[in-house]
């Protein structure tokens, strides 16, 4: 399809999304909150008893919950104002983000208290991830499904249901996996561009800057699996991956910029100045809070569990690659199809350097941005193993 037509479709999609976004946060602030005050207060009481950053499993910082931010999210969901349009942009002074989760959270708080809500989130996440695993197996076989499952376990994905702010990223990533496995998009690149733009935009709308990158890397790796399956040329696969990454980044950045513009028009004060200074801090720290970019990488990689697994997986991958190189020529050529996977595996470290201020302060959850790296590592290893099994079977015939 002509690139101008594709841009046109994405522009229409963006306008529709913005209308829905503004309507969503406005409606959230317009709906009466007195009926959910008791459930909201129960959440505050539970958080006060648990502490801001409780750890329930394995005594590992990697499973730390973020009740501090959950408290903010509940507060925003309880906002009720006659001037709903202004309130939806101001969000109690936290206007840098869209707070798109509020419309969903407010609806859930009408029905569930804190403990019931956590169970609902856990069950929902479990269903989505299990369905994703089954569909990956059906579409791509055991290697892709096993790689995805191992990644979910490695990053304590089940634990993200215990924190409202972590839940959005993992749920949207899981839904994207399901959509990509269910909808055949061969020779329909426009669908992929619309999907990746929407993923970048939607995660910006509902997330408070946790580990949104997984809504790019995991789905993108699945697209690369399709390219392998369809025998797409290496150059085309790599170019497609880069363009889809740019599309996701455009959706993410434009949605954030749109929020700042709408808030600047709607609200009094120097909105742009505050947003700009905050963005600079998130990306590079400040004079008072100096950021060591090398330390940012170390902080996110150096979780004992993650570091040990990365070291082990890299060693196994090296051995598997050497073993495949020593096999038949036609199997060696297939290793080139892993180059786009390797490129995507680097994305988290580019993100950490770009958002180094945020990634340094909040490394106890930003480390999950490396889920795409682990998924890629697991798949590369299993890919090599499958080729070795194939060669061994052919030799035994």
Q: What is the dihedral of CA 246, 251, 254, 256, to 10 degrees?
A: -120
Q: What is the mean pLDDT of residues 38-59?
A: 74
Query: Per-residue pLDDT averaged across 333-358, rounded?
Result: 87
pLDDT at 25: 85
| pLDDT at 393 exceeding the cut of 80 | no
Range scoring the smallest mean pLDDT among 167-171, 223-227, 362-366: 362-366
Mean pLDDT (whole number) for 95-109: 82
At 307-344, the pLDDT tens digits run: 566 667 777 777 776 776 666 666 667 778 889 999 99
| Structure confidence at residue 350 as a pLDDT band (50, 70, 90) | very high
Q: Do the Cβ atoms of 168 and 206 come closer than 8 Å?
A: yes
Express each pLDDT in 282-297 by its tens digit.
666 556 666 777 788 8
Q: What is the mean pLDDT of the chain?
A: 82
Confidence of residue 217 (pLDDT cuts 50, 70, 90): very high
User: pTM for the full model?
Assistant: 0.89
Q: How many CB atoms lie within 10 A of CB 3?
A: 9
The answer to whether 72 and 94 are in contact (CB under 8 A) is yes
For the chain, give the percent of residues with pLDDT over 70.
Answer: 80
Q: Dump pLDDT digits (tens) for 231-269.
A: 888 889 899 999 999 999 999 999 988 988 888 888 776
Residue ranges of domains in the chain: 118-396
Banded pLDDT at 16 (limits 50, 70, 90): very high
**In this model, does residue 300 exceed pLDDT 80?**
yes
CA–CA distances in Å: residue 73 to residues 18, 25, 197, 222, 314: 21, 13, 25, 32, 39
**Tens-digit pLDDT profile for residues 128-166:** 999 999 999 999 988 899 889 989 988 888 888 888 889
CA trace torsion 356, 207, 118, 24 (10° rounding)? 170
């Amino acid at each position: 399809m002509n690139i101008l037509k594709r841009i046109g479709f994405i522009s229409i999609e963006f306008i529709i999304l913005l209308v829905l976004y503004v309507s969503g946060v406005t409606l959230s602030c317009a709906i009466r909150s007195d009926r959910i005050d008791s459930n909201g207060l129960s959440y505050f009481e539970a958080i006060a008893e648990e502490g801001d950053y409780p750890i329930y499993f394995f005594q590992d910082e990697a499973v730390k919950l973020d009740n501090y931010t959950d408290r903010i999210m509940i507060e925003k969901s309880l906002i009720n104002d006659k001037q709903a349009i202004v309130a939806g942009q101001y969000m109690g002074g936290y206007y840098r983000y869209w707070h798109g989760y509020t419309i969903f959270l407010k609806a859930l708080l009408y029905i569930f208290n804190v403990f019931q809500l956590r169970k609902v989130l856990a069950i929902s996440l479990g269903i989505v991830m299990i369905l994703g695993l089954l569909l990956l197996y059906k579409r791509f076989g055991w290697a892709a499904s096993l790689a995805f499952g191992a990644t979910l376990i490695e990053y304590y994905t089940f634990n993200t249901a215990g924190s409202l702010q972590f839940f959005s990223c993992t749920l949207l990533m899981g839904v994207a996996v399901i959509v990509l496995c269910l909808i055949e998009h061969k020779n329909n690149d426009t669908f992929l561009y619309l999907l990746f733009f929407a993923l970048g935009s939607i995660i910006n709308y509902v997330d408070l800057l946790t580990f949104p990158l997984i809504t790019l890397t995991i789905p993108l790796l699945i697209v690369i699996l399709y390219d392998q399956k369809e025998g797409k040329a290496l150059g085309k696969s790599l170019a497609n991956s880069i363009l889809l990454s740019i599309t996701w980044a455009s959706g993410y950045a434009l949605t954030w910029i749109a929020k700042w513009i709408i808030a600047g028009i709607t609200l009094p004060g120097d909105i742009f100045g505050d947003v700009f200074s905050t963005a600079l801090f998130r990306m590079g720290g400040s004079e008072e809070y100096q950021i060591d970019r090398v330390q940012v990488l170390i902080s996110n990689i150096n979780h004992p569990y993650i570091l040990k697994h990365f070291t082990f997986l890299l060693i196994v991958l090296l051995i598997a690659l050497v073993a495949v190189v020593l096999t038949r020529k036609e199997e060696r050529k297939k290793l080139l199809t892993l180059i786009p996977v390797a490129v995507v595996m680097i994305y988290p470290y580019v993100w950490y350097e770009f958002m180094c201020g945020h990634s340094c302060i909040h490394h106890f959850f930003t480390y999950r941005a490396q889920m795409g790296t682990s998924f890629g590592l697991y798949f590369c290893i299993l890919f090599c193993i499958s080729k070795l099994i194939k060669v061994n079977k052919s030799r035994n015939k």
